[in-house]
């Protein structure tokens, strides 16, 4: 029998474990999970302190009050190596309880940050220390998991460097896409949710339109790394360089379509895990999803790096700026033509560099259990359900340790839902037998379907929910519970 990750993490420190063999791991360390290699401990401890507090946030010359970590939105970059111990002291100086969720990392369940499920929330004025061995490399995020706090600005990037990687590039940038902030619209998110519930349809959260006092800023406002289109972040490059972009979408309710004017993109990772490289013009990034892409800087100029909300007007942007050219830049609302070019689909993605796959024989023996679930709800009553049930109060979905679990989703609603699983990566069944490993995936509307497999190797109680923060708060969540 293969050890579980928990046993593995407990044993790895002894350096005495030898099961199987995984070509990706240096030093003869073993792979406790079919498919996804887990690192051994490095012994290095990386420490951070996060003060969660109200702050003044400057957008295009105006100051708004909202909430964030260490005085900024997004919060500080966390950068560690896989196998390191990450220790984060959270000082809650908010007027409410809070937690942090390490989105994308299969941490032990008492470090997962779901209030009332994996931990008691951190009370105002109190501190809490998160500490765990970082189990996986990749581009991930962290954010508050209490109510709609994410939407106020309590999020940030979590980058885990691999022990080794066969990817070469000259520089990298992290681009964090967001929709409006409560301080920008002048309403707090709880009020926005109330409005949705009272409106009986027709009105999107944050989409009340109009201008801020003074008439200078329109909202909703779309941000890249906290900056509006009027004040874009510059990404300096030199001709001939290979540039890695780490893209993440912690927005509350906006699916973005991303493209860089004049430059095709090679997708190398989805939700932190490697995929066979695929070249596209544009990609869709749902809430909670991450992608890594490479671009070749071979066309000097100043180019729009655009994230366009799908199905809504507006644009978030940064600028790709070759060092040898002048300061002129495209207008804030310039939409690169390749936004409408070849778009990445899940069917294009194949997991890369892993030992074994469900369907290959090997350690995949399942599925041992299938949960077939519908997604439903609508703008009318503003209630969103998984298999007819609303969280809290919905029955847990049972699994047993060691099983391969298949979840089949059918979307009976008219909206797309980015479904996110805590504590595990899943493999999308995309018809290739080698679908990508991810932890968040968009389910298409109007009877769209999606199926995924995960290995139940991380005992605990885990959230499975829509990453539209307003849908999650309106019931679209279930607990996956190990019996
Ligand atoms: Cu990023 Cu339960 O979420
Ligand atoms: Cu949803």
CA distance 154 to 13: 34
Domain boundaries, the chain: 45-165, 172-178+221-344, 182-219, 369-482
CA 316–ligand 1 middle distance (angstroms): 23
The ipTM assigned to this model is 0.98
Is residue 220 reached through a cis peptide bond, with omega within 30 degrees of 0 on the bond before it? yes
Residue 36's pLDDT band, with cuts at 50, 70 and 90, is low
Top pLDDT among 52 and 59 is at: 52
- Distances, alpha carbon 244 to alpha carbons 173, 213, 237, 319, in Å: 6, 39, 11, 14
Q: Which ligand is nearest to the CA of 440?
A: 1
Residue 220 has what pLDDT?
72
Check if 420 has its Cβ closer than 6 Å to any atom of ligand 1.
Answer: yes
Residue 326 has what pLDDT?
75
Residues lining ion ligand 2 (Cβ < 5 A) are 417, 466, 468, 471
Tokens of 441: 């995936």
CA distance 369 to 360: 18
Q: pLDDT for 412-469, tens place per residue? A: 999 999 999 999 999 999 887 788 999 999 999 999 999 999 989 899 999 999 999 9
Q: Is the pLDDT of residue 336 over 90?
A: yes
Q: Is the pLDDT of residue 299 over 60?
A: yes
CA 463–ligand 1 middle distance (angstroms): 8
Q: Are 218 and 211 in contact (CB under 8 A)?
A: yes
Q: Which ligand is nearest to the CA of 103?
A: 1
Residue nearest to atom 3 of ligand 1 (CA): 103
Check if 463 has its Cβ closer than 6 Å to any atom of ligand 1.
Answer: yes
- Range of weakest confidence among 47-56, 118-127, 307-316: 307-316
Q: pLDDT for 70-119, tens place per residue? A: 999 999 999 999 999 999 999 999 999 999 999 999 999 999 999 999 99
Phi-psi domain of 308 (left: phi exceeds 0; alpha: psi -120 through 50; beta: other) = beta
Q: Are 263 and 322 in contact (CB under 8 A)?
A: no
Phi-psi domain of 174 (left: phi exceeds 0; alpha: psi -120 through 50; beta: other) = beta
Residue 408 has what pLDDT?
97
**pLDDT above 90 covers what percent of the chain?**
69
CA 466–ligand 2 middle distance (angstroms): 5
Q: Is the pLDDT of residue 343 over 60?
A: yes
Q: Are 99 and 143 in contact (CB under 8 A)?
A: no
How many C-beta atoms surround the C-beta of residue 374 within 10 A?
A: 15
Q: Is the pLDDT of residue 30 over 70?
A: no
Which of 123, 116, 52, 62 is CA-nearest to residue 90?
52
Residue 381 has what pLDDT?
78
CATH 2.60.40.420 fits 172-178+221-344, yes or no: yes
CA 270–ligand 2 middle distance (angstroms): 20
Residue nearest to atom 1 of ligand 1 (CA): 103
**Nearest-atom index, ligand 1, CA of 104:** 1
Residue 328's pLDDT band, with cuts at 50, 70 and 90, is confident
CA 288–ligand 1 middle distance (angstroms): 7
Tell me, which fold does domain 369-482 have in CATH? Immunoglobulin-like (2.60.40)
CA distance 366 to 362: 11
Judge if 172-178+221-344 and 369-482 fold alike in CATH terms: yes
Q: State the average pLDDT over residues 132-140.
A: 95
- Range of weakest confidence among 56-70, 76-90, 326-340: 56-70
CATH 3.40.50.2300 fits 45-165, yes or no: no
- Range of weakest confidence among 40-44, 81-85, 295-299, 362-366: 362-366
**Alpha helices, H only, 302-383:** none
Top pLDDT among 180 and 93 is at: 93
What is the DSSP secondary structure assignment for residue 251, as one 8-state letter?
-
Q: Is the pLDDT of residue 195 over 60?
A: yes
In this prediction the pTM is 0.88
Q: Is the pLDDT of residue 154 over 50?
A: yes
> Which value, to the nearest 10 degrees, does the dihedral of the CA atoms of residues 388, 391, 397, 401 take?
160
Top pLDDT among 378 and 277 is at: 277
CA 318–ligand 2 middle distance (angstroms): 28
Q: Which ligand is nearest to the CA of 472?
A: 2
Q: State the average pLDDT over residues 268-292.
A: 97
Residue 174's pLDDT band, with cuts at 50, 70 and 90, is very high
Largest CA distance in the chain: 67
With 0-12 / 13-18 / 19 or more C-beta atoms within 10 angstroms meaning exposed / middle / buried, residue 174 is: buried
Residue 201's pLDDT band, with cuts at 50, 70 and 90, is very low
**Nearest-atom index, ligand 1, CA of 465:** 2
């Amino acid at each position: 029998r293969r050890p579980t990750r928990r046993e593995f993490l407990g044993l790895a420190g002894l350096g005495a474990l030898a099961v199987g063999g995984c070509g990706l791991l240096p030093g003869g360390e073993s792979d406790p999970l079919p498919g996804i290699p887990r690192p051994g401990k490095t012994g290095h401890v990386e420490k951070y302190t996060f003060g969660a507090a109200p702050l003044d946030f400057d957008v295009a010359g105006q100051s708004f009050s909202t909430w964030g970590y260490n005085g900024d939105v997004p919060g500080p970059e966390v950068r560690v190596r896989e196998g390191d111990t990450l220790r984060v002291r959270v000082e809650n100086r908010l007027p409410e309880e809070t937690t942090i969720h390490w989105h994308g990392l299969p941490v032990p369940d008492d470090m997962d940050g779901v209030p009332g499920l994996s931990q008691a929330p951190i009370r105002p004025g109190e501190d809490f220390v998160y500490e765990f061995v970082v189990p996986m490399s990749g581009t991930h995020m962290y954010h508050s998991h209490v109510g709609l706090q994410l939407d106020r600005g309590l999020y940030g990037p979590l980058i885990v460097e691999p022990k080794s990687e066969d990817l070469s590039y000259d520089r990298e940038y992290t681009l964090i896409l967001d929709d409006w902030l409560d301080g920008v619209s002048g309403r707090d998110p709880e009020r926005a949710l109330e409005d949705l519930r009272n409106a009986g349809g027709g009105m999107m959260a944050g989409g009340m339109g109009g201008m801020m006092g003074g008439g200078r800023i329109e909202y909703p406002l779309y941000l890249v790394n906290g900056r509006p289109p009027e004040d874009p972040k510059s990404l300096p490059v030199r001709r001939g360089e290979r540039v890695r972009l780490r893209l993440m979408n912690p927005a509350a309710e906006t699916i973005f379509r991303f493209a860089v004017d004049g430059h095709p993109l090679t997708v190398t990772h989805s939700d932190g895990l490697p995929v066979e490289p695929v070249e596209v013009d544009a990609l869709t990034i749902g809430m909670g999803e991450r992608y890594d892409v490479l671009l070749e800087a071979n066309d000097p100029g100043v180019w729009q790096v655009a994230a366009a909300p799908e199905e809504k007007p507006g644009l978030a942007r940064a600028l790709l700026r070759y060092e040898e050219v002048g300061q002129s830049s495209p207008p804030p609302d310039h939409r690169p033509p390749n936004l409408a070019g070849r778009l990445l689909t899940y069917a294009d993605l194949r997991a890369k560099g892993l030992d074994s796959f469900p369907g290959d024989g090997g350690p995949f023996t399942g599925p041992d259990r299938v949960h077939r679930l519908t997604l439903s709800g609508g703008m009318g009553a503003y209630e969103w359900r998984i298999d007819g049930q609303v969280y809290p109060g919905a029955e847990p979905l049972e699994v047993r340790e060691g099983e391969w679990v298949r979840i089949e989703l059918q979307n009976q609603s008219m909206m797309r839902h980015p479904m996110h699983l805590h504590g595990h990566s899943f493999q999308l069944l995309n018809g290739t037998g080698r679908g990508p490993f991810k932890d968040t995936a968009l389910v298409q509307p109007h009877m769209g379907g999606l199926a995924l497999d995960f290995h139940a190797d991380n005992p605990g109680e885990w959230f499975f929910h829509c990453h539209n923060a307003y849908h999650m708060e309106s019931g679209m969540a279930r607990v996956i519970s190990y019996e």
